[in-house]
Amino acid sequence: MQEAGQTVNDLPLDDLIAQARQLVTHASSLCVLTGAGISAESGVPTYRGSGGLWRGIDAGDVASPEGFRCDPQRVWQWHNERRMALKDVRPNAGHQALARLQRALEARGGRFVLATQNVDGLHQAAGSRSVLELHGSILASRCSVCDERREIGFEPVADLPRCPKCGRLMRPAIVWFGEMLPEDAWLAAAEAAATGEVFLTVGTSAVVYPAAGLIEIAAGAGARTIEVNLEPTAASTRVGLALRGKAGDILPQIVE
């Protein structure tokens, strides 16, 4: 039990996992937000941690509309390299635990919503269904002008792919800084966070908005909130249970 002055998060990790398991397995509605940390154990680099994707380069150059306008070749090259690096990457135990959790919860008539900031498609590869891709997908391209969209998978694309419909430049189907999130995905995620009984955030530093705002929406609506992350995040003081460790270790214990 907690000593005086201690918070629940000072309890041993096993106790916290037991409490999280209790909440998650009895929830009738659960909303999950994931970030790059859940794919780290699959070998996909995160953005801000050590070895992060954005170490040494300015995100604005390769993850903003201005960067694309300024040097589309460089942006496509950077995305081609990321996609080809994803070719041999597999979902890990963390992705698989969330896919199992969705099946179990839905089998007993519960409501499960998974919103991810990741663009790597690993939740879908693990069997998760109806994944809300808040920041789009690196495995697709879309026209920079019309609504044409093409799945491109892991294959390299021509230097500067052109839209088959209107001839303009195709771009990665990713949400860049300063761009709106896909409205349907965002609204579904915000509604799930506002109405869910339990909210679980996994592997995100919680610094990018509006995605990180889902944690506040859930907490503000009275949901029980749980964080699974390797290190403290901008949301750690806002959640009820903060579990420190690897998603691939902790999630299977919560879901088992």
Footprint on this chain of ligand BV8 (rule: CB under 6 A): 35-37, 40-41, 46-49, 52, 63, 117-119, 135, 174-180, 203-205, 207-209, 229-231, 233, 246-247
- The number of beta carbons lying within 10 Å of the beta carbon of residue 128 is 23
Identify the CA nearest to 161 among candidates 151, 173, 169.
169
Minimum distance, C-beta of residue 244 to ligand BV8, in the bound complex (Å): 9
Q: Is the peptide bond before 172 cis (omega within 30 degrees of 0)?
A: no
Binding partner of residue 76 among ligand BV8, Zn ion, none, CB cut-off 5 to 8 Å per kind? none
Closer of 139 and 163 to Zn ion (Cβ)? 163
Q: How far apart are CA 9 and CA 95, in angstroms?
A: 24
Minimum distance, C-beta of residue 160 to ligand BV8, in the bound complex (Å): 18
Binding partner of residue 35 among ligand BV8, Zn ion, none, CB cut-off 5 to 8 Å per kind? ligand BV8
Identify the CA nearest to 94 among candidates 42, 38, 37, 133.
38
Binding partner of residue 47 among Zn ion, ligand BV8, none, CB cut-off 5 to 8 Å per kind? ligand BV8
State yes or no: is 123 an active-site residue.
no
Closer of 121 and 197 to ligand BV8 (Cβ)? 121
Residues that bind Zn ion (CB under 5 A): 143, 146, 148, 163, 165-166, 168
Minimum distance, C-beta of residue 148 to Zn ion, in the bound complex (Å): 4
Residue type present at position 69: R
Minimum distance, C-beta of residue 4 to ligand BV8, in the bound complex (Å): 30
**Distances in whole angstroms, Cα of residue 224 to Cα of each of 94, 95, 147, 197, 231:** 20, 21, 39, 6, 20
Q: Please, what is the Cα angle at 65 between 64 and 69, to 5 degrees?
A: 120
Name the residues annotated as catalytic: 135
